[in-house]
Structure 1
């Protein structure tokens, strides 16, 4: 503004000088001419400024007279604002990336409980599709009566445990609804399916241990109370000895259960080691001798063993797995049945230990659960033969620690085939 006023004063002085020299008309003409030039220059400046306003990201045009002092701070402020916006956008992008990386699901709702945004985890948990579900009511998307009752409360002091079925799979979700901002809501979802399964397994395990120990303890308690209440001379020696033998049998059964539980605990807690070269055929021969003693000549044993085939592993663990399969075959094979034990190498280099019997067989629905602790297909028969219900669970852990695989094939009334398949990386060929 000061430069414009200065220009007018200078043109006025120039006009006055020209008027004094050449006459008043000439002076006024010079002043008018100067003012016209100023207007034209100012118009050109305004045109250049107008053109610049179409793209404010570019620097303002240079040499625009009095406008330089006005546009320079405006442009500097625009640059600062743009930088702040870029920083805010990067910050928001970082927050969104962090939200997407959360292991829990996050869902934002407006005051009408309509979906505004959700992360990928929430999509997996509930089956949301942000492209199609945005601005739709969460009650139309998550159709569960218990969730509807929960979400329509005035306060949410705790989470909701919701069981949903997606693609044929049962899933347990923990949902927490929280208000935030102005009339907005946040839902946090957490998949607790595995936690629930572990808790169920823990409860089942405690119940099964209690059940397994209750029977022998009841027998022991009954005999001890009988012996305590009866005078020593009133009980025949033969009957006393029979009671004592039965108590000893039940005590040994409990001891076996405790020993197997300790073995399982050790297998689960101890680190996996490479071990040493184990000649598995020797372990099988030892297990067969024990098995023949248990069988008492009631079964026929057929063997097909490769003495030059060994495994890199823990001998004590492998011995337990080998023995468990043979013992199970004996327990579930009727008299005069045949048990075939094989130890051989496959064409691809894997080694297999298999035990095939002509026993009672296993129903298809029971096969997936055979390695569960205390799971028995025929509980009465297993207990009568001294089984603890932990043999296959122990075998499964041993197999996993040796990078091997337990394969089970069975048909009811025909028999079963249990195979331990060891990977080529653990197979060793011995020199004969």
Structure 2
């Protein structure tokens, strides 16, 4: 503004000089013309400044007279503000990317418990859709009475365990509600389905081991107390021998359980190795002899074994898996039943070991649980046949270590087929 005032003063002095020299009218006309020129120039400069304000990202216009000193610091401040905004946006983007990468779900709510934002994990946990659920009450989205009671509390000292059924799959979520900011709320969800399953498995395992060992220990204790309280010569020799035989059987049963548990522990803790080339046909022949001995001539055995097929693996582990399937078939097939054992290559070049029986069969709901430790379809029959309830669990661990699959097909009253399918990468064909 100082330059405009200076220009007016200069034109006034110049007009006075002209008025003194050429007359007052000419001096006044020159002064008015100068003021008009200053007005036109100022208008043009203001017009350029006005156009610049429409797009402040561009540099200010040059040579706008007194506005240069005003626009320059404004533009520098604008650049600093834009840089700070860009830095803040990058920081916010980083925070959002980190929130999306969290293994836990995160949900933000406003003071009315309406959904504001959630990450992808939360969408998977609860089934949220941010595009359609935003600004909707969380109580209308998560319609669980337990959650409603939990969220309406005045404060939340601990998390809530929520069991949801999504697409036919049970999911256990640990959900924590926390206030933050000014009247806002954060929900953190954690999927603990696997942890809960492991905890249930651990409890079942302890209970099952205790139950499996309690029966033989009770028998042993009963006989020992009986023998201890009775005089040495009061029991007939035949009855004493029968008692001793029963105690021996129970002791061997406990020994089998402990041995199988140690085998499972070894399989779980030892690293997987490629092993050597194993002639599986020889293992099958040995297992068949053992199965025939257990059968005592009560079953018919049909075999179809290709001796050329070998497997890269651990011989002791494969021997255990092979014999477990044959032993189970003998135990659960009634007298005069047929057991068919096959060892062959399928159309995909995979080695398949199958044991088919005409036994009692297995209900469809029991098949997925057969490889669980101590799981028994018929507890009374399983114990009477001498099983420990760990054979299929051991077999499952062995085939996983050999990159193989266990397939089970069964119908109640018709029979079952247990198949081990080894990948082509482990198959080794030998000359006959």
Superposition TM-score tier, normalisation by shorter sequence: over 0.9
- Residue 51 (structure 2) aligns with: 51
1:46-125 alignment to 2 at 5 Å? 46-125=46-125
> Could you tell me how far 1:9 is from its partner in structure 2?
2.5
Q: Distance in 2 between matches of 1:351 and 1:372?
A: 25
Please list the CA deviations of residues 121-169 of structure 1 after superposition, one character each: whole Å capped at 9, or x if unmatched. 1111112222222222111221112111111111111001111222222
- Residue 149 (structure 2) aligns with: 149
Q: Distance in 2 between matches of 1:46 and 1:409?
A: 89
Q: Distance in 2 between matches of 1:34 and 1:152?
A: 77
- Residue 164 (structure 1) aligns with: 164
Q: Does 1:181 align with 2:161?
A: no
- Residue 12 (structure 2) aligns with: 12
Q: Compute the TM-score of the two structures, normalised by the length of structure 1.
A: 0.97
> Could you tell me how far 1:209 is from its partner in structure 2?
0.8
Q: Distance in 2 between matches of 1:101 and 1:262?
A: 40
> Could you tell me how far 1:45 is from its partner in structure 2?
0.6
1:278-317 alignment to 2 at 5 Å? 278-317=278-317
1:111-260 alignment to 2 at 5 Å? 111-260=111-260
Q: Does 1:326 align with 2:326?
A: yes
Q: Distance in 2 between matches of 1:304 and 1:163?
A: 49
> Could you tell me how far 1:421 is from its partner in structure 2?
1.1
Partner SS for 1:398:
helix
Partner SS for 2:60:
coil
Q: Compute the TM-score of the two structures, normalised by the length of structure 2.
A: 0.97
Equivalences, count: 432
Q: Distance in 2 between matches of 1:2 and 1:347?
A: 97
Q: Distance in 2 between matches of 1:185 and 1:138?
A: 11
Q: Does 1:395 align with 2:395?
A: yes
Q: After alignment, is 130-139 or 391-400 more displaced? A: 130-139
Please list the CA deviations of residues 206-248 of structure 1 after superposition, one character each: whole Å capped at 9, or x if unmatched. 1111111110010011111111111212222222222111111
Partner SS for 1:233:
coil
Partner SS for 2:360:
coil
- Residue 423 (structure 1) aligns with: 423
Q: Distance in 2 between matches of 1:404 and 1:335?
A: 32
- Residue 2 (structure 2) aligns with: 2
- Residue 268 (structure 1) aligns with: 268
> Could you tell me how far 1:77 is from its partner in structure 2?
0.8
- Residue 337 (structure 2) aligns with: 337
Q: Does 1:347 align with 2:343?
A: no
Please list the CA deviations of residues 395-431 of structure 1 after superposition, one character each: whole Å capped at 9, or x if unmatched. 1111111111111122222222211111111111112
Structure 1 segments, 4+ long, off by >6 Å, are: none
Partner SS for 1:47:
helix
Q: Distance in 2 between matches of 1:62 and 1:98?
A: 45
Q: Distance in 2 between matches of 1:66 and 1:142?
A: 63
Q: Distance in 2 between matches of 1:122 and 1:288?
A: 54
Q: Distance in 1 between matches of 2:419 and 2:22?
A: 125
> Could you tell me how far 1:2 is from its partner in structure 2?
2.4
Q: Distance in 2 between matches of 1:335 and 1:127?
A: 54
Q: After alignment, is 272-281 or 109-118 more displaced? A: 109-118
Q: After alignment, is 199-208 or 16-25 more displaced? A: 16-25
- Residue 38 (structure 1) aligns with: 38
Q: Distance in 2 between matches of 1:363 and 1:153?
A: 46
Q: After alignment, is 322-331 or 294-303 more displaced? A: 294-303
> Could you tell me how far 1:313 is from its partner in structure 2?
0.6
> Could you tell me how far 1:171 is from its partner in structure 2?
1.5
Q: Distance in 2 between matches of 1:191 and 1:224?
A: 51
Q: Distance in 1 between matches of 2:128 and 2:267?
A: 42
Q: Distance in 1 between matches of 2:298 and 2:307?
A: 27
Please list the CA deviations of residues 24-80 of structure 1 after superposition, one character each: whole Å capped at 9, or x if unmatched. 332222222212211111111111111111111111111010110001111111111
Unaligned runs of 5+ in 1: none
Q: Distance in 1 between matches of 2:74 and 2:364?
A: 80
Q: Distance in 1 between matches of 2:294 and 2:223?
A: 27
